[in-house]
Amino acid sequence: MTRAAARLRAVRFPLEPGPSLDPFALAGSDGIVFRTESLVRVGLGTALSLTLADGLDDPEALAGVMRDLRSIPVEDHVPGPGAEGLATADGGPAGSGVVAFGSLPFDRSAEAVLRVPAISYGADPDGSEWVTLIGEDDDGGPDLASGLASGATGYRAWLADLSTPRRPLGSTDPPAEAASPAPSRAHVVPRSSDDSFRSMVSEALSAIATGALSKVVLARQVDVTLDRPVAVPELLGRWHRLEPNCAVFSVPTPAGQFLGASPELLVERSGPHLRSRPLAGTTRRSATDGGSAPTAGLLASVKDGNEHRLVVEAIDRALRPLSDDLRVPDQPGLVHLHTITHLGTTITGTLDPSPEGTVPSSLELVGLLHPTPAVGGVPSTDARMLIQRLEPQSRGHYAGPVGFVDATGDGVWMVGIRSMTVEGASAVLAAGVGIVEGSDPDRELEETDLKLSAVFGALAPGHHFSTAGERNRHEEAG
């Protein structure tokens, strides 16, 4: 247990019935929000930062995160089964209200930080809502005290007040005007030319032809400059409406606010139950039939099927030793998004308990899985080395795990794709494509355009995504 964690205490209350809260407005431009089809988590302020100096490569550090979360005493007023046997250092319950959020870099060995917010809001699949306040044990801290002063029957109104519009905790300044969600200018500049990306794909195909690896995912990045700061809450709300089947997230990072709408579930743990839904294989979603008809060409594609199979087999190998009843469908299904269709496979299972009766936390499962071949390659180490050599810029948080883990070990972690990093009026967008035997450099370039266009459409509605003018400048300069 860290000394910082030892000084903390938490209290959790259920929210009284009332008007629904907008999680994106509550999180604001610099808070934390994670919203799936069935649950919501929002984090404000910071009670505790947990640093993984070696990222996911240090299993003991991952276990240490869980010890810190479980060490925080919880006065829990939310009815429910609780943590099923887990307890804090003083014997109190270690409930699901103590949550650590993270957006981890793609580079699994890079330093990563998880944040335990001073205020956490949750809405669970059963419809229940709650708020957790965490502060220092000696005096409660200003944020904890102000929240407790609201009383157990006034938290919905208190959170709603923070949401309209949210200002920094403790600030006495009047809230700033919300930025317009519709920029009038969106300038796109690719970070590398079309020819350089085609060359990257060709080099990867040469490595695959020698048998050095079976698959590698290559990413392409573009810079977008708007004429006004990005209105993050409005962007997230728009993205949620466009992609209701995706997990919409926003997490502060040293490079800016990392946000997106990811369709790809890395891993979810609920008690002993686990679930993963890898995606690989992509085509444009048909506009002529509303996108509802099965995309037979994608299901029949040998290249896409092979790319997808490599991902599913890798996840199977990682999770099979932990679950005697791991269930992996023989064939993928279709996952339809707003403008794109993917091949997807839903993997489920029940974790086998250790002799001590424990199962790995969702964070520890992330450490076993990331990066899957959906964003890395096969073999994993060789693919990561090739990515580092071929890609001209670091991926940063793109394609890294993003999600949360609570004190029980439960949590949801997505793959940070269909995402961007925002700072002021600037955004960095990225998209990756899987390269396997049979890949074509021109088609892979088109696929990056398709994926980037989907992200750009949420950022700058009404604007057409194009890098044509900047491509020509790159090619002339070369």
Catalytic residues: 215, 264
CB-hemisphere CA count at 13 Å for 438?
8
| Structure token pair of residue 169 | 């905790």
Long-range contacts from 141-150, C-beta under 8 angstroms, 24+ separation: 141/47, 142/170, 143/45, 143/118, 143/119, 143/169, 143/170, 144/11, 144/118, 147/119, 148/11
β-strand pairing of 74-76 with 8-14: parallel
Measured in degrees and rounded to the nearest 5, phi and psi for residue 169 equal -60, 135
Q: Which amino acid is at 405?
A: V
Query: Rounded to an integer, what distance in angstroms lies between the CA atom of residue 268 and that of residue 363?
Result: 10
The residues, any chain, with a CB within 8 Å of residue 162's CB and separated by 6 or more, are 26, 44
3-state secondary structure of 371: coil
Query: Rounded to an integer, what distance in angstroms lies between the CA atom of residue 272 and that of residue 270?
Result: 6
Query: Rounded to an integer, what distance in angstroms lies between the CA atom of residue 475 and that of residue 456?
Result: 23
The residues, any chain, with a CB within 8 Å of residue 265's CB and separated by 6 or more, are 247, 275, 276, 277, 412, 413, 414, 415
CB atoms inside a 10 Å sphere around CB 6: 13
Q: Which of 148, 222, 121 is nearest to 460 (CA)?
A: 222
